[in-house]
Structure 1
Amino acid sequence: MKLLRQEKNLSLAQLSQKTEISISYLNEIEKGKKYPKADKIFAMAEALDVSYDWLVSLKLNKKLGPLSEILQSNILSELPLDVFGIQPGNLLELISSAPSKLNAFISTLIEISRNYNLTVENFYFSVLRTYQEMHENYFSEIERAAESFREKFLENSGEVQLDQLKAYITEKCNYEIDEESLHSYPELTNFRSVLRKNKGNKSLLMLDGRLSDQQKIFVLSREVAYHYLNLGERSFTYAWQSVNSFDEILNNFKATYFAGALLLPEQKLVEDFQAFFKRKTWDSEEFLSIMFKNNSSPETFLHRLTSILPRHFDLKRIFFIKIVHKPHKNGDNNFQITKELHLSGLHNPHGTVTNEHYCRRWQSVNMNEELARQLAQNTYKNPLCSAQISSYSTTPNKYFCISVARPQYPNPEFNCSLTLGFQMDKSFRDTVSFWNDTNVPDVAVSQSCERCPILDCEVRSAEPVILRKKEKEVLIKNRLNELLNTK
């Protein structure tokens, strides 16, 4: 109707005069918020010089063909629009304003995603990261729920005990816990837990008995969250086997966030880091001691800081990266970013570098290699921790990076390093007293070897082919400009 009215060069006011239907009601019809009765449809058809059947036909003309394709696809059901406060009707209104152009844009995005082998699951996880970044990864309602649970069900205000969680899981959630069966299935080694729902009887939580008590506490804390927060759609495995909906991913995130908030109480961390940031020198042992006294894994601890530090210390330009490393005897080391979170912009390094070699000058990569050496020599005892100032060779950006590395237990063939990076802006320098500690190495880095201008790099793993290609393009452009501007 809107397209037809515009083709007739009629304003809403003019159509209102012809049909004796109010402007506001016509506007609601065009937005899909009202469906008129037959007498109004007859009036509109007459004013627009078309038949009644044409106006109510389910077949759209060629100009609205792209809109028809979108409506018949499942894209509107796959897009978690409500996360961004968008109603499907608003999106349809936007699409109907310029259907051909917007459909071409959407088709382009779909084609790009196919070229990069992006699936609906990849898209959902990207939306989740954006959702976290929109809220600076801080969710007050989950923080309050975790604090409420501590007060109601934990016997003391100290660290969470495994026995306390097991008691809640069995009594309140009506679960049975089996720590013997899961690891007997070699195909399921990636799953720390599997929940089997039984009708009418207790549900069975199969927990990998090889996990440390620390890991079991985190798994059970997530199960508590599903029950205590009354979360609906969920995955029944700890690691993802398949994704059915965005709500499933969102609820998994909420359960994970709850577990972190339960194990690492907000106020306690704030007090610890108020003291830590006043130190004039960086101290790896002190950083690890804060982590150890909270009985937390490095991943839970560093990821928890991405919620606390922006909120309470105004450190908003930060990133979290997890790099997994599988050492090979032939020296062909593979480093892969498996988790990342960027607040206030996309920082480097990040996981969008396809088939490139991450810069070996980042200490997160170096520490994985050092960890592999210690494990090979049987000298590894505790997680490795270090700090580095990473200075980009092609930009003025500097990052103060704190990294922790340890074996990927219970999968000892993999090692992992976790890095929390702070852009060294004024807020960081005002908050963190050890920002200029001369004992922290300042290292020139790049995003990947293929893009790196540091030609004398002693740890380069690949030639700078992308850099040279860009330099050649710049040279061609400059020569062409000289030729065209020569009189």
Structure 2
Amino acid sequence: MEEEYIKLIFGLKLKQIRTEKNLSLFGLSKLSGLSKSYLNEIENGKKYPKPDKIALLSDKLEVPYDQMVSLRLDKNLAPIGELLQSKILKEIPLELFGIKESNLIDIVANAPTKVTAFISTIIEIAHHYSFSKESFFLAAVRSFQEANNNYFEDLEQQVLKFAKAYQVDLNRFLGSKVLEEILVEEYGYVINENELSKNEALGNLRSVFVPQTKTLLLANGIDEAQRTFIFAKEIAYNYLEITDRLHTFPWIKFQRFDQVLNNFYASYFAGALIIPKEDLSSQLENFFEKERFDATHFLQMLEGFNASPESFYQRLTNILPKSFNIKNLFFLRFTHKEGSEKFFLNKELHLTHHHSPRANETNEHYCRRWVSLKGLKEISKSGKDHEFGLQVSHYPSHGTTYLVLSSATKDPFRNNQYRSISIGLLINKQLERKVNFLGDKAIPWRDVGVTCERCGIIDCEVRQAPAIVLDKEAKNKKIEKIVEELNFRFQS
């Protein structure tokens, strides 16, 4: 057991016993002869008393010595012990969020009952929705991204330093050969492109890194853009001197929070290297100046970088907030199997907290009017490699409107599987100042909801389920109104 944990548990127990006996700190000080400040430090987990002091407190409080020093907590404090013993507070670098661990401990020590109730609620929700440690870590990183508008200047500068040191021209199309040469010559990598294909169970993996021999195993089916991203990410791990890392792409399991965070850092570095900030910012400025939306121009911009649509859209979430002050945006990735009516939201980022949806396990039906879902349906029928869609999505229930751009593509590693990537920009004064083509009448405009169960749009032609959540809310409001009327009639 860590010393800090033992101190805090003893302090929590002492405070609980003192409170149950209706003693103030002053009263316990008079009773025991120990100073009030000393007792306060014990209760706040800052000091652990010597055995003679524990024996004194045990005698004066009439509590067995063994009970005082036991690390076993009663049911009222058990959730706090579970949180502290899980080492979650140690695994997550709280300083990323401007939080000191000592502040959290003070909060726990000063309001144990309320904090226990809160923690119990979080644990119950996590168990109810099968919220894994990996999901918790990913949510923490996503919050970290959102708190920083998904832009990290230190990583942008590291990319510039790397490009200068290795004479990589950021003004030219970056191919995988350039990065492969650096991995092999500078970092001693061995590239193997035959082994992964021998194992059918590894069909979804793009790459596996074996650190002992610096061997990078690549899947046969990856295209040039995926290959370049994998190499760029491996360079990031080496150039940024990251050792606590994941060894598969995509990831299988996170063991520590640092691995999740480092995976994000490496991915960000790779995206910034393949899609340089200055180049993309300049192209976007020219694109936004047009009075009509030019789909051909947008696709040429996307295809001008050696990157997948997902990497390109992700990079937009870095550049738009920084270079254009467009911060009210969201990023979504859906997957879909041909012939199925199910759509799975498995990646999201919200730089504003107003937008829906957020990933949930309610098994509700996402709005089929979304351009991202429409694109998935179209590409599963057309057989094309890429379906691009554009739409102004208006949420009547929220009073918000978004310009949404979406790309649907085939999943190269799964038969009859497709994915769509979308970025939505909140239409407000800032977007109107930066984007001239917002007034283009050719852009489709649709009223949308979040899920069918929560949507009040009448006679929707693609509704998948009745609005049961809204119906329940309406029923409850009707009951409330009747009760209010009865109270008014019979109050005198």
- For the structure 1 residues 206 and 102, does the alpha-carbon distance in structure 2 shift closer, same or farther, using more than 3 Å as the test? same
Q: Which residue of 1 aligns with 2:442?
A: 439
Query: Among residues 406, 423, 427, which one is paired with 2:426 in the alignment?
Result: 423
Does structure 2 retain, via aligned residues, the 8 Å contact 1:194–1:205?
Answer: yes
Does structure 2 retain, via aligned residues, the 8 Å contact 1:19–1:44?
Answer: no
- Rounded to whole Å, the distance in 2 between the matches of 1:59 and 1:327 is 55
Instruction: Give the aligned CA root-mean-square deviation in angstroms.
Output: 2.9
> Cα distance, 1:105 vs. partner?
1.6
Q: Which residue of 1 aligns with 2:25?
A: 10
Query: Among residues 371, 395, 398, which one is paired with 1:363 in the alignment?
Result: 371
Q: Secondary structure at the match of 2:368?
A: coil
- For the structure 1 residues 220 and 9, does the alpha-carbon distance in structure 2 shift closer, same or farther, using more than 3 Å as the test? same
TM-score (norm 2): 0.88
Query: Among residues 344, 347, 352, which one is paired with 2:352 in the alignment?
Result: 344
In structure 1, runs of 5+ residues without a counterpart are none
> Cα distance, 1:149 vs. partner?
1.1
Which letter maps to 2:209?
L
Query: Among residues 427, 451, 454, which one is paired with 1:451 in the alignment?
Result: 454
Give the paired residue count: 473
- Rounded to whole Å, the distance in 2 between the matches of 1:42 and 1:475 is 60
Which letter maps to 1:90?
N
Deviations 1:67-111 (A, max 9, x none): 445444555455553433434433222112122221122111111
Q: Which residue of 1 aligns with 2:308?
A: 297
Which letter maps to 1:341?
L
- Rounded to whole Å, the distance in 1 between the matches of 2:456 and 2:73 is 54
- Rounded to whole Å, the distance in 1 between the matches of 2:183 and 2:174 is 14
Which letter maps to 1:115?
H
> Cα distance, 1:452 vs. partner?
1.8
Does structure 2 retain, via aligned residues, the 8 Å contact 1:31–1:89?
Answer: no
- For the structure 1 residues 64 and 462, does the alpha-carbon distance in structure 2 shift closer, same or farther, using more than 3 Å as the test? closer
Identity score, percent? 35
> Cα distance, 1:10 vs. partner?
3.3
Does structure 1 retain, via aligned residues, the 8 Å contact 2:54–2:68?
Answer: no
> Cα distance, 1:184 vs. partner?
2.4
- Pairing of 1:220-259 with structure 2 (within 5 A): 220-259=231-270
- Pairing of 1:286-435 with structure 2 (within 5 A): 286-328=297-339, 332-352=340-360, 354-375=362-383, 380=384, 383-435=386-438
- Pairing of 1:169-318 with structure 2 (within 5 A): 169-198=183-212, 202-318=213-329
Deviations 1:194-234 (A, max 9, x none): 11222xxx321101122111110001111111101111211
Q: Secondary structure at the match of 2:248?
A: coil
- Rounded to whole Å, the distance in 2 between the matches of 1:231 and 1:156 is 24
Does structure 1 retain, via aligned residues, the 8 Å contact 2:334–2:372?
Answer: yes
Does structure 2 retain, via aligned residues, the 8 Å contact 1:235–1:252?
Answer: yes
Q: Secondary structure at the match of 2:187?
A: coil
In structure 2, runs of 5+ residues without a counterpart are 1-10
Task: Tell me whether 449-458 or 152-161 shows the greater mean CA deviation.
Answer: 152-161
Does structure 2 retain, via aligned residues, the 8 Å contact 1:322–1:338?
Answer: yes
- Rounded to whole Å, the distance in 1 between the matches of 2:286 and 2:299 is 14
Which letter maps to 1:393?
P
- Pairing of 1:84-99 with structure 2 (within 5 A): 84-99=97-112
- For the structure 1 residues 73 and 229, does the alpha-carbon distance in structure 2 shift closer, same or farther, using more than 3 Å as the test? closer
- Rounded to whole Å, the distance in 2 between the matches of 1:253 and 1:293 is 24
- For the structure 1 residues 255 and 18, does the alpha-carbon distance in structure 2 shift closer, same or farther, using more than 3 Å as the test? same
Does structure 2 retain, via aligned residues, the 8 Å contact 1:154–1:160?
Answer: no
Q: Secondary structure at the match of 1:455?
A: coil
Does structure 1 retain, via aligned residues, the 8 Å contact 2:380–2:416?
Answer: no
Q: Secondary structure at the match of 1:172?
A: helix
